[in-house]
Structure formats: structure tokens, C-alpha cells
Amino acid sequence: MFHPKGPSFRELAVQALSSTQRGYDLLAEKFDFTPFRTPQPLLDAVGQHLDALGPFDTAIDLCCGTGAGIAMLRPRCRRLVVGIDFSQGMLEIARRILVETSHKAKIELVRGDVLSLPFDAAFDLAVSFGAFGHILPKDEPRFVSEIARVLRPGGRFVFITTFLPPMLSPQYLFSRLFNAAMHARNFLLRPPFIMYYLTFLLPDVARLLNRHGFAVEVRDMGFKGMWSAARLVIATKHSPIERQ
Ligand SMILES: C[S@@+](CC[C@H](N)C(=O)[O-])C[C@H]1O[C@@H](n2cnc3c(N)ncnc32)[C@H](O)[C@@H]1O
């Protein structure tokens, strides 16, 4: 459908009829040949911004999938890059892809839910790409508080999002239509497949981050054309003294 090595329409439909986790297990082998993998130019652009913020000892990629973000983080970290995802299938592909060992940083792939991170405060940096649609709006405060909990004071949460597209724009209308179809699917079928567009958007996400003790900087990523709306959010966790 997207690429000769990518999934067929039928395979995508079967995926969408499964749970989110099982759906990604089924898609894993072909995931890198879909547009759902975060495109490399976006990751490279994030990497350039990180170069000016680093160096980092430890980083975590939330909802790491097949490891696109981990590969970008690895040369920028001195000690450890952790990837966490709840799909075993996606983690297995990541493990296969990330065998290259010329970098200093160790890689750990952990199966788990990003709403309940199995770590204590330690990380210098957290990133997440292409996954906010899988976090229900009601779970966003928990997601952000988990990230705040596992970052050290001064640690950063860096991600890409956008503002709400103009109403009646093709992107807005497509997203609303897609969301309506997913609401209908999830009303009728169990287990749900959680995937909604237009979530974790600016400016609301900046307010959410502020409430969880982050200072927020928003940067235009400078893309033209289809990614021109992309904004890089750099959220820095306050130290306890700053918060008083
Ligand atoms: C569209 S993929 C993005 C993968 C990768 N970050 C990328 O940019 O290519 C979304 C990933 O989020 C994972 N995911 C969704 N909800 C999750 C959750 N609550 N906890 C852990 N992983 C989750 C899925 O298993 C899937 O691998």
C-alpha cells in the first residue's frame, strides 16, 4: 500500500481490528516501510537541536517502536539509551536493527507501558516520536507526570508536535473523520485500538507540562511544505529550588 515491502490494506485493517499492542506486534516486520515510522529528516532535525543542548549521559525513548529515535539518540549519549514499548514485536525488530556497536552508549530495550514507567529518576533526556495519538487525552497528565518522575532535575523532555490545524483545512477534516471512525470502532469492538489524531497539541500541552513542573520552549523547526507546522518542544524539568 505505502511501499512494496509495506503492509497491504488488508493487513492494516486486521491490525486496526486488534488491540493497540497486538496491532503493532502484527505490523512490526513491515513497520519501517510505512509512513508511521518517524521520517528521518525530522529525527535528524531533532538531533541537531539536541547537539546544542547536550551532552547527555542517559536518555529514554518512550514508545520506541523499531528504534528510529534510539538510533538518533545513541551517538548523542555517553552512557545509556533506553527504549520502552509495549509491543514485543516492535522491540524485536529494534533489537535486530540496533546491533551495531561502534557507539559508546549501551542500549536497553524494555517491554512496558509508558503510563507506568519501571524506572526511578535518572534520565537526562526523554523523547517520544509518533506515539501521542496512542495516549488518550484523559491519560496525558499521567503520561507527563511519569516523564517528570523519571527525569533528573534539569532533565529535558523533547518532542515534536503542532498547533491545531485551521478548521476546514484538509488535515483538520481528515483527522476529525479518522477520529470519528476510531470512536465508532472502539464503541463497537473490544479490545480498543487507541489511535486518535489532534492530541498533545500546543498550546494545551505546554500548559500541561507547566503544571507538572516543566519550563517550556517551543521552536519552529524551519521546515517548508508538509512539515511546516512541526514545532519542537523542549521541556526542562525545574529543580526543586526553582519551584519554591
Ligand atoms: C507509530 S509507532 C512509533 C514508533 C517510533 N517511536 C517511531 O517514531 O518510529 C507507536 C509505538 O508506540 C507504542 N505504544 C503505544 N502505546 C504505548 C504504551 N502505552 N506504552 C508503550 N508503548 C506504546 C506502540 O507499540 C508502537 O510501537
Q: What SS3 class is residue 188?
A: helix
Q: List pLDDT tens digits, range 104-142.
A: 899 999 999 999 999 987 899 999 999 999 999 999 999
Which uninterrupted H or E stretch holds 49? Answer: helix 40-53
240 Cα–ligand 1 center, Å: 31
128 Cα–ligand 1 center, Å: 9
Give CA–CA dist 220/232, Å, rounded. Answer: 6
Which fold does the domain 38-163+201-243 belong to in CATH? Rossmann fold (3.40.50)
Counting every residue, how long is the chain?
244
- Domain spans of the chain? 1-36, 38-163+201-243
58-96 per-residue burial string, b: 16 or more CB within 10 A, e: under 16: bbbbbbbbbbbbbbbbbebbeebbbbbbbbebbbebbee
With cell 500541552, the residue in question is: 205
Cβ(36) – ligand 1 distance below 6 Å:
yes
Using the predicted structure, report yes or no on whether residue 218 has a pLDDT greater than 70: yes
Q: List pLDDT tens digits, range 166-187.
A: 999 999 999 999 999 999 999 9
Cβ(83) – ligand 1 distance below 6 Å:
no
Calculate what percentage of the chain has a pLDDT beyond 70.
Answer: 97
